[in-house]
Chains A and B, each alone.
Chain A
Amino acid sequence: MAVGTRPVNRLSRAAELKNATCQTEAAHGAAGVDGDVRKTTVVLLEIKNLQVKVDDREILRGLDLTVNKGEVHAIMGPNGSGKSTLAHVLSGKPGYEVTGGSVTFEGADLLALSPDQRAARGIFLAFQYPLEIPGVATMTFLRTALNAQRKTRGEKELSTPEFLKRVREVSGKLSINQDMLRRPVNVGFSGGEKKRNEILQMALLEPILAVLDETDSGLDIDALKVVAEGVNRLRSPGRAMIVITHYQRLLDYIVPDIVHVLSKGRIVRTGGKELAHELEANGYAQYQDEAA
């Protein structure tokens, strides 16, 4: 599939995910025959020299990152390194001033799009602190979001039975009961319930790029496992994820393909999943010095 095209309907989104699977399988098959171990890569997100200010303070100072379809990237770094800023800038939160660089998503200039347009194109941010929306039933919220995205993409909105069927499919796997869905969004939810609700939204909205901002914060080990399982089920050759975390713990359950260290607004080191363990053992001190 050509980079830069955007699936225009639900079928083509599914077809795209399937295509990507086929491509990967084909590549593996080819490797079996020829011994030529070459992986098909499709660039999904390309961040070049991104510079961002918040309240006149430079937070990101020339960040480069390329994410291909099917990859799970972990971004680790000390507090204040710019991890959440990156997540917010990708999803279009107001209050961040991009002073330089570019972000290209499926060939399009992501920074020119409003948050809802980005979401409709397949970007999903799992919030570090999911917000409570009193008076809006979770079910209403999910349906409004899903149908708004479909409408923006020019797809038919889901009928109530279709929608309910889909919600039941995904909510059961996340141990989210019907009572939770009837309650106002996140109101009175425990920390674990809030995070599960984020993953439910992600599963329902089927993003192409999911950004998980400190999804592990505030979770005990059991809740973490449920959330991680939910995330792992969504791993797919057509979908990429950026997992932002301070601690290595989450990465025991969501095993990344690539780990980056973010420090002072730049990626200062990139490695495999073993890098997370190294960070856990040695801390971030050396990178803070490097970036300085």
Chain B
Amino acid sequence: MTAEIRPIKTAAEIGLAEAFAALRPRLAGSAVAARREAAFRRFEAVGLPHRRVEDWKYTDLRVLMRDAKPLAAPPDAAAKARSGAAGGVLAGLDVRRIVFVDGMLVPEFSDLAPEPGLRISSLAAALGRGDAALIARLGVGPAEGDVAYALNTAFMGDGAVIEVAPAAHPARPLHLVFAYGSDRAAAVYTRSLVVIGAGAGLILFESHDGPDGVDYQVNAAVDLVLGDRAAFDHVKVGAEGRDALHLSTLSATVGADARFADMTFTTGGKVVRNQLYVRCDGTGSSLSINGASLLNGRQHADTTMLVDHAAGHCRGREVFKSVLDDASRGVFQGKIIVRHGAQKTDARMMSRALLLSDEAESDNKPELEIFADDVQCGHGATSGALDDNLKFYLMARGIPEREAEALLIQSFVAEAIEEVGNEGVRDALIEATRAWLAARP
């Protein structure tokens, strides 16, 4: 059967095509032009994903992305001023900050001082130089073929290129601060590349924030290559403005005997899709992939995760929690693939939604595809309201109803937060959860 060629027709699709056409002259002759061109053609062939596309069943971009905003201009002084202190709930931690405003690196806000074993540079600069080695490493991970990721490849502007030398352990966590500073709606495409050498370790924080009332669009992608025996701790805090569209993709390949820990904490944005593509290429690694979304109003947040056990003897633990108030909607799609020969895989996935309102909706789709015969795989998915018996237990000890609810919701979310290794981050996320609860009317 030949692929259906569907004429581009939504306003957003037309906008994207126009934006790409406008961008093309600026790309002419550059080493990455062919990559962008191919990626855009891949997008064009299928168009914006919609509900009849299984992977996007619950997040219909044809409906949720009405138009395509123009590409963001370099941030002006006002935008920078608004974003200098960005970083959201992680702002108080002792980190090396690398700040991007409206998708572009702002060196004056960033700590780019050299450190042995650590190289940090700007993607825009690398692309501008036509750094062939770097370009060759972009987009070859497990997210290849994803449509949001293809759009990112087509439009990627700036981002961080982080290289950790073998056996190196940077002194402080790195914090990539992505702030939207403009007061006009535009589109931002960032792509970061993180390469961690054998036996090295990196703690990476990533935060996204921006103003309410501006319907800007963010498409953020991170490519990760995690070497053998290397460790990666990643925490992403999504606190976009309440009218923003945020699509993000983490595309990770994990080497042998490595440790990969990921936490996505989402409270912001109007429409959010967090995509996690993780592939175990080597044996003996451990994965801990977690998430928590706290939503209200009409917010929509989708976590779509694909964990691909291409090699055996790996251990995977996934815990995802959503707290859904008002008419918000939480989506979890989690798929674990255990390839033929990936014996002794031990994979467990749990996703739970807590519905605080009759109008809230939770869509939960766990999938296991197992082609090996000596594995342990399990998944659990629940959605429900607060437990009245637990609430009564707390009230019987003198805790007023609202406070009892807050304590239970916090404990529900904490199960995912507790998986985070860094204590400062755990405290910051608990504090963010408390703040969210305190703002409940």
Contact = CB atoms under 8 A, between A and B. Distances in A.
Q: How many interface residues does chain A have, given as a range?
A: 20 to 34
Given A131-B390, A136-B411, A91 B403 contact: no
A114 interface: yes
B411 A120 contact: no
B390 A119 contact: no
Contacts of A92: 395-396
Given A94-B388, A94-B392, A144-B403, A133 B411 contact: yes
Contacts of A124: 396
Contacts of B399: 116, 144-145, 148
A232 B363 CA distance: 52
Interface string B108-139: 00000000000000000000000000000000
A148 B394 CA distance: 10
B415 interface: yes
A127 interface: yes
Contact of B389 (A131, A140, A141, A184): A131
B398 A205 contact: yes
A201 B397 contact: yes
Contacts of B390: 131, 133
A119 B396 contact: yes
Nearest to A91: B396
Interface string A78-108: 0000000000000111100000000000000
A134 B392 contact: no
Contact of A148 (B389, B398, B415, B418): B398
Interface in A107-139: 114-116, 118-120, 124-125, 127, 130-131, 133-136
> Residue among A92, A127, A148, A201 with the most chain B CB within 10 A?
A148
B397 to A, nearest CB: 4
A20 B218 CA distance: 69
A152 B407 CA distance: 17
Contacts of B411: 133-136, 184
Contacts of B400: 114, 116, 148, 152
A213 B365 CA distance: 42
B376 to A, nearest CB: 22
Contacts of B415: 134-135
Given A144-B403, A144-B407, A133 B398 contact: no
B393 interface: yes
Contacts of A130: 393
Given A145-B397, A201-B397, A205-B397, A93 B403 contact: no
A68 interface: no
A133 B389 CA distance: 11
B389 A116 contact: no
Contacts of B404: 116
A91 B397 CA distance: 10
A166 to B, nearest CB: 15
Contacts of A93: 392, 396
B418 A135 contact: yes
Contacts, number: 79
A168 B412 CA distance: 28
Contacts of A205: 397-398
Given A94-B388, A134-B411, A135-B415, A148 B403 contact: yes
A211 to B, nearest CB: 10
B410 A114 contact: no
A184 B418 CA distance: 12
Task: Assign chain B's interface to a size class.
Answer: 20 to 34
Given A134-B411, A136-B407, A116 B393 contact: no
Contacts of B412: 135
B368 interface: no
Contacts of A114: 395, 400-401
A245 interface: no
Nearest to A120: B398
B322 to A, nearest CB: 15
A51 interface: no
B425 interface: no
Of A114, A116, A205, most B-chain CB atoms within 10 Å: A116
A136 B394 CA distance: 11
Contact of B414 (A91, A135, A149): A135
A149 B393 contact: no
B327 interface: no
Interface in B310-329: none
B418 A119 contact: no
Contact of A119 (B388, B389, B397): B397
Which of A120, A124, A136, A184 is the most central at the interface, judged by chain B CB atoms within 10 Å of its CB? Answer: A136
From B393, B404, B418, name the one whose CB has the most chain A CB atoms within 10 angstroms: B393
Nearest to A125: B396
B93 to A, nearest CB: 22
A184 B408 CA distance: 12
B392 A152 contact: no
A168 B124 CA distance: 59
Closest 4 CB pairs of A and B: A135-B411, A119-B398, A149-B398, A145-B397
Given A116-B395, A141-B394, A148-B397, 19 more contacts: A91-B396, A92-B395, A94-B388, A94-B392, A114-B400, A115-B396, A127-B393, A130-B393, A133-B393, A133-B408, A133-B411, A135-B411, A135-B414, A136-B410, A136-B411, A140-B407, A148-B400, A149-B397, A152-B398
Interface of A: 91-94, 114-116, 118-120, 124-125, 127, 130-131, 133-136, 140-141, 144-146, 148-149, 152, 184, 201, 205
Interface of B: 388-390, 392-401, 403-404, 407-408, 410-415, 418
